[in-house]
Amino acid sequence: MLEIKNLHVNYGGISAVKGINMSVPEKSIVTLIGANGAGKSTTLRTIAGLVKPSSGEIIFQGENITGKDTIDIVAKGITLVPEGRRVFANLTVLENLKIGAYLRKESIEDSIKNVFDLFPRLKERSWQLAGTLSGGEQQMLAVGRALMAKPKLIMMDEPSLGLAPLIVNGIFDIIKEINKLGTTILLIEQNANKALKVADYGYVLETGKITMEGTGLELLKNEKVKDAYLGSSKK
Amino acid sequence: MIDQRKKHNFKLYNIIIFIVFVAFITALDLKFLGDDYVRRVLSLAAIYTIVSVSMNLVNGFTGLFSLGQAGFMAVGAYTVAIFTVPLEKRAAIFYVVDQNPVLAQIHLPFVVALILGGLLSALIAILIGIPVLRLRSDYLAIATLGFSEIIRIILTNAKSITNGALGIKGIPEMPTMWVFFGVMILSVTLIVLLINSSYGRAFKAIREDEIAAEAMGINLFKHKVMSFAIGAFFAGIGGGLLASLLGTVDPKQFYFTMTYNFLLIIVLGGMGSISGTVIASFIVTIGLEVLRFFDEPLTLLGFNIPLFRAGFRMVIFSALLMILVLFFRNGLLGQKELSWDMITSWFNKKTLRRKEKGGAL
C-alpha cells in the first residue's frame, strides 16, 4: 500500500533520514521503533507532507505522493495522529471530531457514530472542551479525529507518550481494533515491547538508517533489539 | 418535560428582547426618546460593534494578532466619502488641489459606495495578507500596524484623490439610525454564521494548533487570508458607516490609536466571544462618553480639583484597562457566548450563596 524508496530528509544542513526503504502492506500494522532522534517522527511527517524530502520516493497505492501538499495527501487517505496528541484544547470534543472530517464533503454523521462506538468515553464528553479531558481521553480523541477523515492509512506518532501503563494497554487494544476494521496502521513507538507485540512487521531505525527489520515476533526475540530497546534482563 | 418548557420560555425571552430592542431603537429614531447626542453615541456604538466583531474574527477566532483595523476602516470611509459627496459640492471641497478629473465625474449611491469600500478593503487585505500572513504573533502585529500607518500616509499625500490633510466634508448624512443598526445586525449575523460553519471550525483549529490543523488537511494560508480579508471587508463597511455618521473624514481619524479602541473592546468582551464583543462595544463607546465629565474642570466646596482637565478621561480609561488585564484576563465572557443557561446558572449560584449565608446565621 505504501512504499518508501531511498528516502532522504534534511533539516537545514543536518540529515535526519538517510536513505530508508520500507513498505506497509494493506491492512497490516507496521511499526517503526528506535531511540530519540533516530528519525522516526521525521519519516512520518515527511509521509504526511509536513516536511519535504530532499530525495527519494513515497508511493501510496501506486501513486507517487513525494513532496505533495498535506491537503492532497490527507485527501488521498493518509492521516497523522500527531505526537503529543495536539487536540484543539478550547474546542469541544465534537468540534474536534468535525475538524478531522474537514476535507470530506458528504455527511459525517455515520463517522461520528462510529468513533463514538469505538470510544464511548468521547460520547459522554462530547460537549466538554478537549483541554479538560485526561491524557488518555485526549489520545482517544486524537485517534478518533484522525479516523473522521476515513483514512486508508493512519499513522500514529507515539500514541503511548506520557500515559499511565493501564491506559497504554487500552490504546494498543484500540489500535488492534481499528486495524481489524480494515485500516492500515503505521505506528511509531519508543515503547518497543508493546509496539512489536501488536505489529505484523517492524523496522528498527538508528540515526536515520534502518538497521533491522522483520516480523514483530522475530524482532521481539532478536538479541540486539532486546539489548537496545526492550531492556533485556541480563541477570 | 420541564427542560423543554424552559427552552420554550427562553425562545420567548429572546423574541421579547429583540422586540424591545427594535422598539427602543425605533422610538429613538422617531425622536420620541432621547436627543441627537444619544442617537449619535448609540450609532457610533453600532459601528464599533461591526468593526470589533470583524476584528474578533481575525484576532479572537483565527488567532492572528492583527492591528490593521484602522487602516481598513480608512479605506472604506474614504471610498464612501469620495463617491457619495454630491458632484456640485466637489469643487468647493477640493479647493487646494483639484480632484482627479475621472473621480470628479463619478457619484455613487451610498449602498454601492459602502459595499465597494468593503470590497476594496478586502482586496487590499488579500494583497497585504499574502506576504504578511506568513508571519506569526507579534511580528504580524507590527507588520499590520505598519500597513495601517502606510494607508494613513497615502491618504494624507494623494491629494487629488483624498484632498490630503484637509479631509473631505459634506458626506450626506443618513436619515435614520436603522442604517447603522441594520448593517450591524446583518454583519454580526453573517459573522456568526461563518464562525459556526466548517470554515469557522477551521479558523478555530488554526488558532488552537497550526500543526494539528495542517495535519487535518486544513490549508493554513488560504484560511488565514480568507479570515483576514473577511475581517477587512467588515472593517471597511464600518469605516464607510463612520464616514456617513460623522459627515466628514480626514486622515487623522485613522491613527493607529483607533485600532486600540477595538483591541480594548475585544479584550474586554473576550477574545473569541461574539456576544461579549457586542456588549463590550456598547460599554466602551458609552463609557467613553460617560467618563467625559472627568475632562471638565470640577469645583468641589470651592476647591478646584486639579486633576480634572482635558485628557484625564483617558487616564481613568487606561487605569480601567490595566485592572481589566490584571484581574479579568479573559474578558467578560472569555470564549463563551452569552446564553440563558449561563444567566440562569449565574443567578442560581447567587441565590445558593445567599441561602448558604442564611443557613450559617
Highest mean pLDDT among B135-144, B274-283, B294-303: B274-283
Residue B299: band (very low, low, confident or very high) from pLDDT cuts 50, 70, 90: confident
Q: Is residue B248 less than 8 Å (CB to CB) from chain A?
A: no
Contacts of B215 in chain A (CB under 8 A): 48, 50, 70, 74, 79-80, 82, 86
Closest Cβ opposite residue B218 in set A80, A86, A102: A102
Residue B1: band (very low, low, confident or very high) from pLDDT cuts 50, 70, 90: very low
Does the residue B122 lie in any domain? yes
Residue with cell 497505492: A61
Q: Which of A156, A232, A228 is nearest to A198 (CA)?
A: A156
The x, y and z cell numbers of residue B142, run together, are 507590527
Yes or no, beta carbons of B212 and A95 under 8 Å apart: no
Q: Is residue B211 less than 8 Å (CB to CB) from chain A?
A: yes
DSSP labels for B38-62? HHHHHHHHHHHHHHHHHHHIIIIIS
Q: Range of B290's domain?
A: 8-351
Give the type of residue at B298: L
Helices B178-195 and B198-208: angle between axes, nearest 10 degrees:
70
Task: Note the ipTM here.
Answer: 0.87
- Of A108-117, B1-10, B56-65, B117-126, the range with the lowest mean pLDDT is B1-10
Contacts of B198 in chain A (CB under 8 A): 98, 102
Tell me: pLDDT of B136 over 80: no
pLDDT of residue B357: 61
Distance between the two ends of chain B, CA-based, in angstroms? 36
Yes or no, beta carbons of B218 and A50 under 8 Å apart: no
Does the residue B358 lie in any domain? no
Cβ atoms of residues B251 and B74 within 8 Å: yes
CA distance A19 to B29: 74
- Of A60-69, B67-76, B132-141, B191-200, the range with the lowest mean pLDDT is B132-141
Does the residue B139 lie in any domain? yes
Contacts of A94 in chain B (CB under 8 A): none
- Domains of chain A and CATH, by start: 2-84+154-230 (3.40.50.300)
pLDDT in tens, A55-80: 999 999 989 999 888 889 999 999 99
Q: Is residue B206 less than 8 Å (CB to CB) from chain A?
A: no
HSE of B321 in the Cβ direction (CA atoms, 13 Å)? 16
Q: Which of A47, A76, A86, A156 to mutate to test the interface with B (most CBs of B within 10 A)?
A: A86
Residue A233: band (very low, low, confident or very high) from pLDDT cuts 50, 70, 90: low
Tell me: pLDDT of B91 over 70: yes
Yes or no, beta carbons of A50 and B212 under 8 Å apart: no
Here the CATH number for the domain that contains residue B90 is 1.10.3470
CA distance A204 to A218: 12
**CA-to-CA separations, A110 to A94, A102, A147, A148, A180, in angstroms, rounded:** 13, 15, 12, 10, 18
DSSP labels for B224-248? HHHHHHHHHHHHHHHHHHHHHHHS-
Total domains present in chain B: 1
pLDDT of residue B29: 84
Tell me: pLDDT of B45 over 60: yes
The x, y and z cell numbers of residue A188, run together, are 511509531
Q: Which of B63, B62, B61, B137 is nearest to B335 (CA)?
A: B61
Contacts of B213 in chain A (CB under 8 A): 88, 99
pLDDT in tens, A88-97: 998 999 999 9
Tell me: pLDDT of B2 over 60: no
Yes or no, beta carbons of B215 and A87 under 8 Å apart: no
Yes or no, beta carbons of B216 and A79 under 8 Å apart: yes
Yes or no, beta carbons of A91 and B213 under 8 Å apart: no
Residues B296-311, mean pLDDT to the nearest whole number: 73
Rounded to 5 degrees, φ, ψ at A58 are: -120, 120
Contacts of B211 in chain A (CB under 8 A): 50, 82, 86
The x, y and z cell numbers of residue B266, run together, are 475585544
Q: Is A113 exposed, middle or buried (0-12, 13-18, 19+ CB in 10 A)?
A: exposed
Residue of A nearest to B199 (CA): A102
Does the residue B3 lie in any domain? no
Average pLDDT over all residues of chain B:
87
Cβ atoms of residues B145 and B224 within 8 Å: no
* Shortest Cα–Cα distance, A154 to chain B (Å): 12
Tell me: pLDDT of B361 over 80: no
Q: Is B170 exposed, middle or buried (0-12, 13-18, 19+ CB in 10 A)?
A: middle
Residues B138-162, mean pLDDT to the nearest whole number: 91
Tell me: pLDDT of B93 over 90: no
Yes or no, beta carbons of A102 and B335 under 8 Å apart: no
Yes or no, beta carbons of A70 and B209 under 8 Å apart: no
Does the residue B360 lie in any domain? no
* Shortest Cα–Cα distance, A196 to chain B (Å): 26
Tell me: pLDDT of A155 over 90: yes
Q: Which of B61, B62, B208 to mutate to test the interface with A (most CBs of A within 10 A)?
A: B208
Helix (H) or strand (E) holding A213: strand A209-215
pLDDT of residue B358: 56
Q: Is the pTM of this model over 0.90?
A: no
- Interface A:B, Cβ pairs < 8 A: 69
CA distance A100 to B285: 40
pLDDT of residue B360: 47
Yes or no, beta carbons of B201 and A80 under 8 Å apart: no
Yes or no, beta carbons of A70 and B215 under 8 Å apart: yes
Q: Where are the alpha helices (DSSP H) in chain A?
A: 40-47, 70-76, 93-100, 109-118, 120-124, 135-147, 165-180, 192-198, 216-221, 223-225
